[in-house]
Structure 1
Amino acid sequence: IVARDNQPGRDGEMRLERFMKQKPPTFTGGYNPDGAYKWLEELEIIFEAMECSEEGKTALGTYVLREEANVWWKNAKMRLGPGGMAIP
């Protein structure tokens, strides 16, 4: 068991398992500012309890994007460089 826990990527997998046990809401996108704000508030409660880094918040938050929101994220991610900086 110890060897399995030391495998590369295992920390991320364990973090995702902990996150999903909290039953985070998904977000599908569309024009719904109140819904988006509520979704972010719910995720922030989970992130605070898990003591997530900003990078962890991005990875976990985007994991629960669905439909239009997921398509938007895939397109936005292609325009980002290292460190999340926009590519001109």
Structure 2
Amino acid sequence: MDNKIFIIDGIYVTVISMAIVFIILLSIALILSSFKIIFKNKDKNLNEDEIALTNEEDDEEKIVAALAASIMARSNTNPNLRIKSIKRVR
């Protein structure tokens, strides 16, 4: 029995395998890009009030984070203290 594998056979298997991988990657990319079209956000126009409220909340979060960081810097009691979440109390 002559079960010799030639170099050309190895190159053929390599090229076919690489082609399959690239076809699968291309199909995944097409599926992911189609999600942008399918699940398109129809309400992209935000009111100016909503934008102002969002900016105000961001500013408040920055102030709270700065205050917490300054308090932690001043007190050497617990260096492993971490703030995980900030919730507004009304």
Both proteins in one fold, TM over 0.5: no
Higher relative contact order (CA 8 A, sep 6+): 1
Q: TM-score, normalised by structure 1?
A: 0.24
Q: TM-score, normalised by structure 2?
A: 0.23
Structure possessing the higher radius of gyration over alpha carbons: 2
